[in-house]
Amino acid sequence: MELIKHIKDPLLELKNLTVSYNKTKEAVTNVSVGIKKNKVTAIMGPSGCGKSTLLRAVNRMHALYPNIEVQGEIFLNGENISSMSDILLRRKIGMVFQRPNPFPTMSIYDNVIAGYKLNGIRIKKNKKDEIVEKALNDVALWDEVKDSLNKKGTFLSGGQQQRLCIARAIAFLPDVILLDEPTSALDPIATKKVEELLVELKEKYTIILVTHNMAQAARISDYSMFMYLGKLIEYGKTKNMFINPIDKRTEEYLTGKFS
Amino acid sequence: MSRKNNMLKQKKINARILKDKIFSGVIFLFSFITISPIIFIIINLISKGYKQINLSFFTETTPDTYEAMVAVSNNKIIPGGILNGITGSFLMVSLASIMAIPIGILIGIYLYENSSKRYANIVRDITDILQGVPSIVLGLISYFWVVKNITNGFSALAGSTALAIMMLPLIIRSTEETFKMIPGTIKEAAIALGVPYHKIIFRVLIPTGFSGLLTGILLAISRIIGETAPLMLTALGSMKVSFNIEKPISAVPLLIWEFYNDPNMVNLIWASSLFLMIFVLTLNLLSKYIVQRSI
């Protein structure tokens, strides 16, 4: 595919990725793209176009469901992810979900280091404190919660919970953060905060964002993909795509002819 | 004309309001009839049983018939207590819990994780059937399994086995229901952190559903602690405090049955029943409190 040549030295590379839920229906068909380092890449498209399915293939979330079949290859830093263990892969590729999902039994502090705790990675107390403070600082939550670190994560507001979930993902110092419509359950003010946060976070991490909100993609992404019926229709710099879409379907979607 | 119409409308509305009131009244009456037995039972137990409840009721074993007869004929309270029953019940319920809780929770998790598999459906159906098996039949089964083959005689172990079989379906179903209530996103959060499957279950799902599991366990215990029939065929009963699981043992409901068969001990029936009732009521209220607090 020629599209892949848009990106020089991609951090993450998908090659001929096909995901099918059963033998007859492919949710994602033959997608090949490269994702640029330290940029926000948005995946747009109407509901049911396969954007979340594509995202979840990247950190092998589909492995959980035996009837979902994933074909094709994914390379992270040139290394095939199929050779990585689950824990290593998910340490390198963090994920944030549509609805904030902090662990309800854990404190804010424990939620941030949940990745270490639950995987039995032993670290010293002062190192833990350091990780927690840094992650919460990165998501601009430290000042709001530093006095209530022992309170339950679910005690926070929706927007704070989502930032806590981002903190949980970046506490592992991943290369890539996958976000699956992270603001769709949040109010406009919380959404704005998360968006600003993502723009700041791209200095350190590579961000892939699934969104059904075109305006959001336009506001914060550097590169955009447009998917339709499981196929990647167009991929390029967000500015170019919004000003001058190449494919007719992209244009129709962006001008609101369908959604 | 329109005024007449309005009056007609008003009449219809009044009739509806009346119907509504009558219906509410009937519902209120029925609900009162439903709860009245428990109120009468509690009043009855307290008024007849309170005299026998004193310190020795909890610290001494059952008196023999002669002691009781002397006390009753002198119009005194019966000496002794139900310590042997309390310790026996405690031992057997603990043993039954040790057997049933881990197995029940694991099966419940299996049903939750594989909810649509054929085998899971079969297990679920059988669990439902097991819940409907009369408790005396479970006593008989335990009699043939344990009394005849393992302990070669009536024993606490046999009683616990029967009780454990009774507990199983309750715990299995409550575990499955509890896990179904946990949002799938919590599980996904753990998966996305690379947490292995067994740790997701033990470190994420079980703690998250802990109050639900605890409620199920408490209700199962309150269900089995009053069981009499299966214990008659297995634990038999004993006059002494015993902690030997291979020997016959007493239990509070067994003692109630024994008191019933001894005309001199009638007063102890009410006191023991009151004790059992309060215990079960407390467990039920406790589980309600846990559910409310967790919401």
Instruction: Render pLDDT for A145-158 as a digit per residue (tens, 0 to 9).
Output: 999 999 999 889 99
- How far is B181 from chain A, CA to nearest CA, in Å? 13
Instruction: Render pLDDT for A17-50 as a digit per residue (tens, 0 to 9).
Output: 999 988 888 899 999 999 999 999 999 999 889 9
What's residue A259's pLDDT? Answer: 66
Query: Which residues of B lie closer than 8 Å to A, measured between beta carbons?
Result: 183, 185-186, 188-196, 199-200, 203-204, 207-208, 210
B-contacting residues in A 20-59 (Cβ below 8 Å)? 59
Which residue in A has a C-alpha nearest to residue B182's C-alpha?
A: A104
Contact partners, residue B256, CB within 8 Å, separation at least 6: B228, B269, B272, B273, B276
Task: Please check the confidence at residue B75 and state whether its pLDDT lies above 90.
Answer: no
Q: A interface mutation test: which of B116, B193, B201, B208 has the most A CBs within 10 A?
A: B193
Cβ atoms of A38 and A205 within 8 Å: the answer is yes
Dig out the tokens for B162 from the structure: 């029967």
User: Least CB-CB distance to A101: which of B185, B207, B210?
Assistant: B185
Q: Measured between alpha carbons, how far is A46 from A230 in angstroms, rounded to an integer?
A: 10
Task: Please check the confidence at residue A1 and state whether its pLDDT lies above 50.
Answer: no
Q: Mean pLDDT over all residues of chain B? A: 93
Chain A residues touching residue B190 (CB < 8 angstroms): 103, 114, 118
State whether B185 and A120 contact (CB < 8 Å).
Answer: no
User: Average of pLDDT values for A103-114?
Assistant: 94
CB contacts < 8 A, A to B, total 67
State whether B192 and A97 contact (CB < 8 Å).
Answer: yes
Chain B residues touching residue A105 (CB < 8 angstroms): 207-208, 210
Name the residue type at position B183: P
State whether B207 and A64 contact (CB < 8 Å).
Answer: no
User: Average of pLDDT values for B71-95?
Assistant: 93
In a domain, A54, yes or no: yes
Q: Measured between alpha carbons, how far is A211 from A220 in angstroms, rounded to an integer?
A: 11
Instruction: Render pLDDT for A116-129 as a digit per residue (tens, 0 to 9).
Output: 999 989 999 999 99
Domain of A7, CATH number, reads 3.40.50.300
Query: In which domain, by residue range, is A159 found?
Result: 3-254
Which residue in B has a C-alpha nearest to residue A89's C-alpha?
A: B194
Inform me whether the C-beta atom of residue A121 falls under 8 Å from chain B C-beta atoms: no
State whether B208 and A165 contact (CB < 8 Å).
Answer: no
Q: Measured between alpha carbons, how far is B226 from A151 in angstroms, rounded to an integer?
A: 41
What's residue B30's pLDDT? Answer: 97
- How far is A178 from chain B, CA to nearest CA, in Å? 10
Which residue in B has a C-alpha nearest to residue A165's C-alpha?
A: B189
DSSP string, chain B: -HHHHHHHHHHHHHHHHHHHHHHHHHHHHHHHHHHHHHHHHHHHHHHHHGGG-SHHHHHS-PPPHHHHHHHHHTT-PPP---HHHHHHHHHHHHHHHHHHHHHHHHHHHHHHHTTTSHHHHHHHHHHHHHHHS-HHHHHHHHIIIIITTTSSS--HHHHHHHHHHHHHHHHHHHHHHHHHHS-HHHHHHHHHTT--HHHIIIIIIHHHTHHHHHHHHHHHHHHHTT--HHHHTTTB--SS----TTS-B--HHHHHHHHHT-GGGHHHHHHHHHHHHHHHHHHHHHHHHHHHHH-
State whether B186 and A103 contact (CB < 8 Å).
Answer: yes
Residue A8 — very low, low, confident or very high, per pLDDT cuts 50/70/90?
A: confident
**More confident position, B65 or B105:** B105
User: Average of pLDDT values for B229-253?
Assistant: 94
Which residue in A has a C-alpha nearest to residue B114's C-alpha?
A: A65
Task: Please check the confidence at residue A90 and state whether its pLDDT lies above 60.
Answer: yes
Dig out the tokens for B18 from the structure: 């009346």
State whether B203 and A118 contact (CB < 8 Å).
Answer: yes
Chain A residues touching residue B199 (CB < 8 angstroms): 118-120
Task: Please check the confidence at residue A3 and state whether its pLDDT lies above 60.
Answer: no
Cβ neighbour number for residue B39 with a 10 Å cutoff: 10
Instruction: Render pLDDT for B27-44 as a digit per residue (tens, 0 to 9).
Output: 999 999 999 999 999 999
State whether B193 and A115 contact (CB < 8 Å).
Answer: yes
Provide the percentage of residues in chain B whose pLDDT is more than 70: 99
- How far is A70 from chain B, CA to nearest CA, in Å? 17
Provide the percentage of residues in chain A whose pLDDT is more than 70: 97
Domains and CATH numbers, chain B: 93-235+270-294 (1.10.3720.10)
User: Least CB-CB distance to B185: which of A90, A99, A105?
Assistant: A99
Instruction: Render pLDDT for B148-170 as a digit per residue (tens, 0 to 9).
Output: 999 999 999 999 999 999 999 99
State whether A119 and B185 contact (CB < 8 Å).
Answer: no
In a domain, A82, yes or no: yes
Which residue in A has a C-alpha nearest to residue B199's C-alpha?
A: A118
Instruction: Render pLDDT for B178-237 as a digit per residue (tens, 0 to 9).
Output: 999 999 999 999 999 999 989 999 999 999 999 999 999 999 999 999 999 999 999 999
Q: Measured between alpha carbons, how far is A181 from A194 in angstroms, rounded to an integer?
A: 11
pTM of the model: 0.84
Q: B interface mutation test: which of A85, A119, A175 has the most B CBs within 10 A?
A: A119
Q: Mean pLDDT over all residues of chain A? A: 91
Residue B1 — very low, low, confident or very high, per pLDDT cuts 50/70/90?
A: low
- How far is B155 from chain A, CA to nearest CA, in Å? 42
Residue A4 — very low, low, confident or very high, per pLDDT cuts 50/70/90?
A: very low
- How far is B188 from chain A, CA to nearest CA, in Å? 8
Q: How many domains does chain A fold into?
A: 1
B-contacting residues in A 162-191 (Cβ below 8 Å)? 165, 168-169, 172
Q: Measured between alpha carbons, how far is B119 from A180 in angstroms, rounded to an integer?
A: 35
Residue A2 — very low, low, confident or very high, per pLDDT cuts 50/70/90?
A: very low
User: Average of pLDDT values for A240-256?
Assistant: 90
Q: Measured between alpha carbons, how far is A56 from A50 in angstroms, rounded to an integer?
A: 10
In a domain, A259, yes or no: no
Which residue in A has a C-alpha nearest to residue B208's C-alpha?
A: A105
- How far is B295 from chain A, CA to nearest CA, in Å? 12
Instruction: Render pLDDT for B10-23 as a digit per residue (tens, 0 to 9).
Output: 889 999 999 999 99
